[in-house]
Structure 1
Amino acid sequence: MNLLFRAHDQESKSKDMKGIKLSTFATRCVLLTTCYALLTACSQTDETEVLSVSIGFVPTVEAQTRGTEFTKDNLTSLGVLAYLTQGNSFNALSSTPNFMYNQEVTKATGASTWEYTPTKSWPTNSNDKITFFAYAPHNAKGLTLPAATDRGYPSFTYQVQVAEAAQIDLLVCTPLMNQTYATNNGKVKFVMNHALTKIAIYVKNNDNVLEKTITAFSIRGVKSGTLTFQSLDTDSKGFEWNYPSSVPMETFTTTITNFSVPINSATEKKLLSTFFLLPNGSGNTFNITYKYTGANGTETIVLNNQPLPSSDKWKPGTLVNYIISIDTKSGVSVTVNSNPAWGNGGAETVDGSDIETR
């Protein structure tokens, strides 16, 4: 009887142990399922996670006519400053270009896509944002960038080159604030604005004296200024120019040294020079030297510090046309017209990574 009891007792214990093992396995399964459900719930409620996607650039530009000026076809580089703010929006007091600093973005001549290296990706946390500022061309001569540690909206100082041939059509973007991948499907769509005033100098004959030739021409204007990006609530383009109280002046010279004036008053005006100058027309003047053949042989006329009208029209992105009429008896006279839009003032459509002109 004792043996039977012991056998029965061992069998009962074995069954109990199996029951314990099965019960423990089931409990573990329940715990794992619960943890997975909790983790899934957290990821769905706390923040949206997105796959890492590369940042692509799609610049857009305005239009113009002569000199080193940019359109959708010939702009091939720009510089980018990007500010990453984690969980917050751009802060005008503390944000720095910690994501991209003077990043060069390029497009090969004739190509349609913009490239840069190393490639950066959008934050996977949808609460993180990137604010973008850009200028063109990259490392433009005369342009001084803010330091990489400077806080808030960036400011550039710019000094205009003296020679007409060395001047450029400086572009800056409308700021793109607090961007995420969802803002525009991962594409950074810059609108690049002409930051300077385009001054076109035309010459016309005001009498029928033949063989007039311009041997020198120059404009006196502001030498340097500071461009500061700002809130779009302040200005539709998001930037403004500032100058010191004592504005530095410079004389900017034309490239052509022997320019034939149209032969008579009926002939259409002729383009002499195109300058890209700071949008500050206060106190601007021009100097001109020309010669002609008269009854007493060759006469040379030198006129300095001649006033330029409509200096209030010198605004960013504005084209100002000056027509200088030359008369051997009365000297020179100047007429002016301005166009707030360069080129034809029309618009071209952005197609993919193309550049718009407007």
Structure 2
Amino acid sequence: MKKILLAVTAALAITSCSQNEEFEAPSQKAEINFNTAVTRATELNTNGLQKAGFEIYAYNTGTSGMTADVVLPAEAWISNSAKYTEGTGWSVDGGPYYWPLTDKLQFFAYSPKDGAAYTAPNASDKGYPKFVYTVGTTAANQKDLVIASVQDATKNQNGATSPVSFAFKHALTQVNIEVTKVDGYTYDISKVEVAGIKGSGTFTYTGANTGTWVAGTDPDATYTYTLGDFTGNTTTVISDNALMLIPQELTNAKISISYTVKKGNSEIAENNKEVALSGTTTIWDFGKKIRYKLTLPIGGEKVGISADVDPWDSEATETPTVSE
């Protein structure tokens, strides 16, 4: 079963003595410690975050605040994994780390580590760091990627003991599907696929807890979706069946579905339908949850489709109809 990492708050007290910076007397060093809290326990429990951990990068920009014109140093102040130990709590590999006296630190984090390839700054390119992320090939091994960043943190600002607080946000698009059948008939659905999708992309931080995606150029991928059972005439949506996919423009995206229809013991129709997704939501945005609702006819009629779009803290609804 996949580990779903949703809105997480991680509190972090960090510093580093690996660079040639001036520090206070050893007795006054402010060490970076960690705390975590889960804000949506229905989708992520504390054990899930503790097992996954998160990746943390920090860069010393001296007196400069973080902007798209800042050149980050090639040597990171912190570049490692945050891990949880029962009875001890959170720590960062390679620590302890300490605050510089007055310089500003820029923090960037994400979880999970698997599937991500971080691009370290090279001390010449301007702007924020980035990473390439590839989603799993099946819903069972797709995880909910979350990101967080804190800009311009200083010891004076955070104090000797107060942590740096990370508010992780969803960085992928979650896709679910439900179908509605005609009353009085039995439907046997053998295949539901979402096709024409890019399976990887580059995420670039653009500010505090924000970023942008550029979908990869790899060949289009196809993902199988597992419907829930019918309750009445509509299938239920099971959270663990959700697809966690790269935000992208829907150019060739479609849902393919195969099903037979019976009346009593007699099979009366066998259907293979395709529904283009570009007529509902043309772009899968960062941190959105989308539920596609298909209305399946008995025979050769068009499939009805609508889409509910939920930013994971509010909800909007679209109700267009698209040809098969």
Percent of paired sites with the same residue: 22
| Structure 1 match to 2:242 | 274
Partner of 2:76: 98
Q: Contact 2:102–2:155 (CA<8 Å) still a contact in 1?
A: no
Higher helix share: 1
Q: Deviations over 1:141-175 (max 9, x none)?
A: 2x2111464654211111222211111100111x2
Aligned to 1:117: 93
Q: Does 1:222 align with 2:225?
A: no
State the 1:119 CA deviation. Answer: 2.1
Mark the CA change 1:339 to 1:307 in structure 2 (over 3 Å): closer, same or farther: closer
Query: Taking structure 1 as reference, are residues 177 and 61 closer, same or farther at Cα in structure 2, changes over 3 Å only?
Result: farther
Q: 1:160 aligned to 2:129? A: no
Distance 1:114 1:298 in 2: 60
The match for 2:210 is 238
1:214–1:64 distance in 2 versus 1, CA, 3 Å: farther
The 8 Å contact of residues 321 and 336 in structure 1, kept in 2 or not, is answered as yes
How many residue pairs get aligned? The number is 279
Give the secondary structure class of the aligned counterpart of 1:286. Answer: strand
In the TM superposition, residue 56 of structure 1 has moved relative to its aligned partner by 1.7
CA contact (8 A) 2:294 2:305 kept: yes
CA gap 1:112/1:170 in 2 versus in 1, 3 angstroms:
farther
CA contact 1:160–1:277 (8 Å) conserved in 2? yes
DSSP 3-state at the match of 1:122: coil
Aligned counterpart for 1:182 among listed residues 156, 159, 164: 156
Shift of 1:281: 4.0
How many angstroms apart in 1 are the aligned matches of 2:260 and 2:41?
A: 32
> Secondary structure of the residue that 1:182 maps to in structure 2?
helix
C-alpha distance in structure 2 between counterparts of 1:275 and 1:130, whole Å = 35
* Displacement after TM superposition at 1:126 (Å): 2.1
- Aligned-partner SS, 1:119: coil
User: Are the equivalent residues in 2 in contact too, given 1:63–1:343 (CA < 8 A)?
Assistant: no
Which residue does the alignment assign to 1:192? 168
Partner in structure 1 of residue 7 of structure 2: none
Structure 2 length-normalised TM: 0.73
Aligned to 1:84: 60
Q: 1:196-235: per-residue Cα shift (whole Å, max 9, x none)? A: 111111122233102x122111112222211111245xxx
Aligned residue for 2:31?
A: 54
Question: SS where residue 156 of structure 2 aligns?
Answer: helix
Displacement of 1:118 in angstroms is: 2.8
Q: Which residues of structure 1 form unaligned runs of 5+?
A: 1-46, 346-358
Amino acid at match of 1:189: S
SS in 1 for 2:131: strand
Query: Given that residues 131 and 202 in structure 2 are in contact (C-alpha distance below 8 angstroms), is that contact kept between their aligned partners in structure 1?
Result: yes
User: Which one has a bigger Cα radius of gyration?
Assistant: 1
| Number of the residue aligned with 2:188 | 213
Partner residue in 1 for 2:119 = 146
Aligned residue in 2 for 1:15: none
Q: Which runs of 5+ in 2 are unaligned?
A: 1-21, 317-324
Q: How does 1:62-81 map to 2 (within 5 A)?
A: 63=40, 70=44, 74-76=48-50, 77-81=53-57
The alignment's C-alpha RMSD in Å is: 3.3
Q: How big is the shift at 1:334?
A: 1.5
Structure-1-length-normalised TM-score:
0.67
For residues 226 and 251 of structure 1, what CA distance do their matches in structure 2 show? Answer: 19
Q: In 2 relative to 1, CA 229–306 (structure 1 residues): closer, same or farther, beyond 3 Å?
A: closer
**In structure 1, how many angstroms separate the alpha carbons of the residues matched to 2:218 and 2:281?**
15
Give yes or no for contact 1:62–1:71 (8 Å, CA) kept in 2: no
Relative to structure 1, is the Cα distance of residues 89 and 104 closer, same or farther in structure 2, using a 3 angstrom cutoff?
Answer: same
Equivalent in the alignment of 1:318: 288
